[in-house]
Amino acid sequence: MTFLHMPPTRPVPGSRPIPFDHNDHYHRLLLRHLPSGGRTTFDAGCGTDRFARRLAGRGYEVDALDPSPQVAAAAESIGGGPRYRRADVTTTDLPRGHYDVITCLASLHHMPFATVTRLREALAPGGVLLVLGCYAGITRWDLVAVPANAVARAAVHVSERLRGAAPPPLQAPVRQPDMSLTDIRTEATRLLPGSQVRQLLFWRYLLTYNA
C-alpha cells in the first residue's frame, strides 16, 4: 500500500461547524483501550483525521485510509503525522497480521458490516480492533441522549465563543446507519468470536476485539 503524508484538514468555506462532535467525545475512551507496547495502527475511514493525529501524537506509526476526496485534497501540502491514502477499505489490499491497533470511527455503517473480517485479518497477534459505530433505531438510552446532547452542544458552543476558538475542521460525510444494535451484536458474535459490543450515549456503540 502507498500512503501519502498529509497535514491536518482545513475548514471548507461554507461548511457548517458542529459545536459538539459525538465521535471526538469518545476519543479518550478509545485511547484507554490501546494495547501496551503497540507501535503500528490503521485508521479505516479516517474522515477528518482528528483521531489519526491523536494516535500519531502517542508515537504510533499511523496508516489512515478514506475514500473522501476532501481528505485526498489535503495531500496538496506535505506535512508530518499519519500517512494517508484515498481508497476504499472494502477493496484495497491490507497487509495481513501487521497492525497492533485498527480503529474505525463512525465509518463502518458506510460499508458492509462484514468488512470487519478484512480488518481482523490485518491485525497482528495480540492486536486490537476498536470500532466506534452508529446504529439504527431508538433505545431507552437514546431518550437520555437527547437532553444530554443539547446540554453538551450548548456548553461547547459557549466555551468556544469565550475562547474565540476557530471553527472545527471539515466534517466527514454523513450517512444514516441501517443496522440495529441487536443486529450489530449478532453479526459481531458471528464474524468476530469473543468480541464485545457496548452501547454508549449519543447514539454510538463500542466494539472491541482482541486478535
Beta-sheet strand order (sheet of 196-200)? 4-5, 83-86, 61-66, 40-44, 99-105, 123-134, 204-210, 196-200
Torsional class of 31: left (φ above 0), alpha (ψ -120 to 50), beta (otherwise): alpha
Give the model confidence (pLDDT) of 13-66 as tens digits. 333 444 546 688 889 999 999 998 899 999 998 877 789 889 999 999 999 998
The rounded percent of the chain whose pLDDT value lies above 70 is 68
Q: Which cell is 53 given?
A: 493525529
Rounded Cα distance, 163 and 56, in Å: 26
Q: Please state the φ and ψ torsions of residue 97, each to the nearest 5 degrees.
A: 60, 35
Write down the pTM of the prediction. Answer: 0.76
Q: Please state the φ and ψ torsions of residue 202, each to the nearest 5 degrees.
A: 65, 40
Domains and CATH numbers, the chain: 21-136+172-210 (3.40.50.150)
Give the model confidence (pLDDT) of 79-108 as tens digits. 567 888 888 999 999 999 999 999 999 999
Contact 42, 115 (CB under 8 A): no
Contact 128, 33 (CB under 8 A): yes
Rounded Cα distance, 34 and 93, in Å: 24
Counting DSSP H helices and E strands in the chain, the numbers are 7, 8
Rounded Cα distance, 132 and 106, in Å: 6
Rounded Cα distance, 54 and 69, in Å: 22
Give the model confidence (pLDDT) of 56-87 as tens digits. 999 999 999 988 777 656 543 445 678 888 88
